[in-house]
Structure 1
C-alpha cells in the first residue's frame, strides 16, 4: 500500500510569544502520523481510523486537507484511506502533545500530492503543501502559530515566524553538536486551545500586564534560539531554565496553569542532574523538553522521571519531514 507520513513536533522555545508577534523554535520528532490507501476497504465512508488502523473518527482538518489538496493536485480517486496516529498517543491515556493533528493534516495532503505523481521529499512539493495543510489546520486551531504544521512538513529544526493571513515563514536551524535531549510525557492531557484562550482573554482586559509578562518570555526564547544557532549547549541549558521560569511567570500573571505540578517536577529533576527543562507547547501538562550536556546525566534523569510517575518518550529529534512510504499488506505501520 502506498502511504504518506509526517512527523510530530516538540516546541523548543517561544510558546505564547509566537502568538503575539514573536517567533518560535520547533523540532520534528521521529514519531509519525501515517495516512495510506486501505488494502481492505471499509464500510463506505471512504476514510477511517484516527488512533489505529481499525477504527475511530476522522478530524475536520484532515477532511479539509484532502479536499484542498485535490484542488491543487488533481489525481485519480484515492479510494478508502486508513489513518494511524498510534505513535503520537497513548492508547489508554490520550495524546502526548506532539502535534498529531497537524502531522495528520500534512500527511493527508501529501498522499494526494503523491497520487498526482509528486515526490514528497522534494522541497518544491513541500512548499506547495504547506499552505494547504496550514489552511486545513486552522479549522481546529484558528489562532495557532503554524509551527506544528511547518515542522510536520519540512522536518528538521525550524525558527518559525507567523504571518497574519498566510503560512509562517521558516528558517532551518542545525541541531547543536553534543546536545542530549529528552521528551517527557507528564501523563496529563492538556487542551491547548483552552490554555491559549485564557491568556488571550487576560490580554484583552489587561494588555499592559500581558506585555510585561511576555517580555522576559520573549527574551528567554530568543536566548534559546541564539544558543541553538551558536551550538552552545551550556548556554542552551541556562536559557531553557530561564524559559521555564518565564512561562511560570506568565501563568501566574494570567491565572493560567501553564506550569503545573508535573511540569515543575520535570524541571526540578532536570536541574538536579545538570540540565534544564521546560513545557513544550501551551503547558498545563502534555510534554516537556529537557536538555543535557552529558548522556549519563540524561539517563539518570530518565530513571528519576520514571520513579516520579513521568514517562520519558522513546524518540529522536530533528527528524525527517513529509515523506512517502510503502506499507506491506498486513504490516502495522
Structure 2
C-alpha cells in the first residue's frame, strides 16, 4: 500500500521507493528472493545492484550488444530452490559460502566488462557464469537446469552462442547475448522449432514512472 501511495502521489523518488517495494516483495515471498527483479524494475535499464549496501550503478547498454530470450515451458518456483539452498547451508554453511564465492567470480568479471563496454567479454563471461552454475547444480542435484533449459543451452552451444539460465528461481527461461544479431535471430528460430516460446525483449531505461495518473 505504501508503494502504491508513492506512485499515486507522483512522488516517485526511486531511492525512497525501492526499500518499500523490496519490503512488499519480501512480505509476499515469505522473506525469500533476492529482490534483483524489483530493483531492476524500479530503476530500469542496465544496472548492477548490491543488496547488502544498497549500492546501484547504472550502465549504458552497448549499441553492438544484442539479446534474445526464450521460455522453457516449465515454470520454476524461487521458494523451492531457496529451501534446497537452506538445506545445504544447514549441513555445511562454510562450504556453501565458499561455493557461492566461486560462483560469483565470473559475475565480478562480467560487471567490469559491462562497465568497460567490452561486448565480446560480456558474452564470454556470461557463458562462464552459467557453466559454473551448471557444475554446482549437478554436484548437489538441485534441479536448476531442467531438461528444457538443457536442450535450449545445447542448441545455443552448437551455434557457438553464449547463453545463460534466467528467470524465477533460475529454472524457467534462458537468454543469449552477442554482437551478431543475425546469429541470435537464427538461434531464436531454432528454439521456436524445438517447441520453446521465444520472448521479445525491449529495454526500459526509465524504470517506474508516473504517466497520466498511472504507473508505468
Q: TM-score when scaled to structure 1? A: 0.59
1:287-302 correspondence runs (5 A): 287-302=173-188
How much does 1:201 deviate?
1.3
- With over 3 angstroms needed to count, the CA separation of the structure-2 counterparts of 1:115 and 1:317, relative to structure 1, is closer
How much does 1:197 deviate?
1.7
Larger radius of gyration: 1
1:182 equivalenced with 2:68 (yes/no): yes
Describe the superposition over 1:233-281 as per-residue Cα deviations: whole angstroms up to 9, x where unpaired.
Answer: 2111211111111111221232201112222222222233332111114
1:194 equivalenced with 2:80 (yes/no): yes
Matched-pair contact (CA < 8 Å) for 2:8–2:213 = no
The count of aligned residue pairs is 213
Q: Distance in 1 between matches of 2:147 and 2:10?
A: 49
Report what 1:145 is aligned to.
34
Report what 1:161 is aligned to.
50
Q: Distance in 2 between matches of 1:229 and 1:151?
A: 17
Describe the superposition over 1:300-326 as per-residue Cα deviations: whole angstroms up to 9, x where unpaired.
Answer: 001000011111101213543001233
Give unpaired runs (5+ residues) of structure 2: none
Structure number having the greater helix percentage: 2
Describe the superposition over 1:138-170 as per-residue Cα deviations: whole angstroms up to 9, x where unpaired.
Answer: 11331332211111111112211112xxx8321
Q: Distance in 2 between matches of 1:321 and 1:116?
A: 17
Q: Indicate which of 97, 108, 116 corresponds to 2:9.
A: 116
Give unpaired runs (5+ residues) of structure 1: 1-65, 70-108
Q: Secondary structure at the match of 2:47?
A: strand
1:136 equivalenced with 2:24 (yes/no): yes
Matched-pair contact (CA < 8 Å) for 2:67–2:201 = no
Structure number having the greater strand percentage: 1
Q: Secondary structure at the match of 2:19?
A: helix
Describe the superposition over 1:90-131 as per-residue Cα deviations: whole angstroms up to 9, x where unpaired.
Answer: xxxxxxxxxxxxxxxxxxx2x42243353x3xxxx2221111
Q: TM-score when scaled to structure 2? A: 0.88
1:247 equivalenced with 2:133 (yes/no): yes
1:102-113 correspondence runs (5 A): 109=3, 111-113=4-6
1:183-222 correspondence runs (5 A): 183-222=69-108
